[in-house]
């Protein structure tokens, strides 16, 4: 497991050690997704250095961004109802829930309450009209981590070397094009984000 060699979280932003946090993330998902999370963490760290964001937050946010992706659908539905979240969420699926609702599980199971990290996780799938540098870093890192080899990822990786905002715009544009080509419904937040970052 090359990705895991020397991988250590410097500041876990919770009471867990680096080993405990990584192990808990690992337990919630299959091996493939776990390694994607490690690569996203490393990519987010690199972007944070380049764009002068907090490298420790980027490292943790990248690691945990998909923490909730394999949590059972029924568990998400319960949280949406019991926590009085927007009822329209019930019309969507885990592709949308794992970020915006997934932070509930991150707070309760990992004990991470840092709002900047939680916001970046919430926005990592759809983007948002207002994004901090950390939000943009996690959004882009997820899309350009080294194992992403489709043409959209290659273009976005290139753009991210010189402009984080251009990378966000390109990612949103390509994601919407992809969703349209598959005749999939587009979550309103994705469209609102595209209108801000993908147009000029």
Residues that bind ligand GDP (CB under 6 A): 66, 69, 95, 124-126, 142, 175, 179, 184-187, 190
Q: How far is the CB of 84 from ligand GDP (least distance, A)?
A: 23
User: How many chain residues touch Fe ion (CB under 5 A)?
Assistant: 2
Which CB, 36 or 57, lies closer to ligand GDP? 36
Token pair 């405990």 is at which residue?
A: 20
The rounded distance, in Å, linking the Cα atoms of 89 and 152 is 28
Tell whether residue 45 is a contact of Fe ion (CB under 5 A).
Answer: no
Instruction: Report whether 149 contacts 170 (CB < 8 A).
Output: no
CA distance 76 to 70: 10
- Find out whether 150 and 123 touch, Cβ atoms under 8 Å: no
Report in angstroms how near the CB of residue 147 gets to ligand GDP at its nearest. Answer: 10
By the 10 Å C-beta count (0-12 exposed, 13-18 middle, 19+ buried), 85 is classed as middle
The nearer residue to ligand GDP, 91 or 113, going by C-beta atoms, is 91
Q: How far apart are CA 36 and CA 17, in angstroms?
A: 21
- Residue 139 beta carbon to ligand GDP: minimum distance, rounded to whole angstroms: 8
Tell which positions 141-180 bind Fe ion, by CB under 5 A: 142
Binding residues for Fe ion, per CB under 5 A?
A: 66, 142
């Amino acid at each position: 497991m090359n990705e895991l060699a020397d991988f250590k979280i410097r500041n876990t932003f919770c009471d867990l050690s680096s080993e405990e946090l990584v192990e808990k993330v690992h337990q919630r998902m299959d091996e493939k997704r776990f390694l994607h999370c490690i690569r996203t963490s490393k990519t987010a760290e690199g972007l944070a250095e380049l764009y002068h964001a907090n490298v420790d937050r980027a490292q943790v946010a990248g690691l945990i961004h998909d923490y909730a992706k394999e949590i059972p659908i029924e568990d998400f539905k319960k949280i949406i109802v019991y926590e009085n979240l927007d009822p329209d969420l019930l019309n969507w699926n885990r592709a949308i829930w794992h970020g915006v609702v997934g932070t509930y599980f991150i707070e309760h199971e990992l004990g991470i309450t840092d709002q900047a990290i939680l916001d970046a996780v919430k926005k990592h799938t759809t983007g948002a009209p207002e994004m901090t540098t950390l939000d943009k870093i996690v959004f882009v890192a997820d899309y350009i981590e080294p194992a992403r080899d489709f043409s959209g990822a290659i273009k976005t990786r290139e753009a991210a070397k010189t402009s984080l905002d251009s990378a966000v715009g390109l990612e949103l544009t390509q994601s919407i094009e992809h969703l349209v080509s598959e005749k999939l419904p587009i979550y309103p937040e994705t469209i609102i984000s595209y209108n801000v970052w993908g147009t000029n």
